[in-house]
Amino acid sequence: MTEGLEHVGLMELDHDIESAAVAGAAAVQRLIADRTQLRARLSLQEQELTASRAAQDDLRRRLTLLHQRYIDLARKVVGQLEQFDVAIRELLQDSRQAGPVNGDPAKRQFDSNGVPLGPQVMPKEMNGANGKMPLPIEP
């Protein structure tokens, strides 16, 4: 009977070893599946990162071009303002050299900087939006 118990004990041991081997194989398969899944995620994320960097580079290039266009536009506007300033200064210089209008300094309307002289003249009639306030007269 001892032999029978030994035989049953060996069968149980074989069964335990077989169960452990099957569980180990299943664990290895899960690890391989997880590794494969992680590799796929990594590949996808690398593709997304590459696409994101390309889009970022394109946006940076466009922003640089836009910045340069605004710089060029600002230079043109400053140039035109300088030309306008020169023209106004020449006009004022010419008017000073020509003397007061009709020789009467009281008839001058602007000073040498182009600022209106004297009080603003307001119309006698009311012409505001509500009929109570007159609109200002621009020089």
Domain ranges of the chain: 2-97
The total of other beta-carbon atoms located within 10 Å of residue 117's CB is 12
pLDDT of residue 100: 57
For the question of whether the overall pTM of this predicted structure is more than 0.85, the answer is no
Report the alpha-carbon distance of residue 94 to residue 39 in Å, rounded: 82
Q: When comparing pLDDT for 8 and 96, which is higher?
A: 96
The pLDDT value recorded for residue 78 is: 96
The whole-chain average pLDDT of the chain stands at 82
Note the pLDDT tens digit of each residue in 20-74: 999 999 999 999 999 999 999 999 999 999 999 999 999 999 999 999 999 999 9
Alpha-carbon distance of 13 to 7, in angstroms, equals 10
Higher per-residue confidence, 134 vs 61? 61
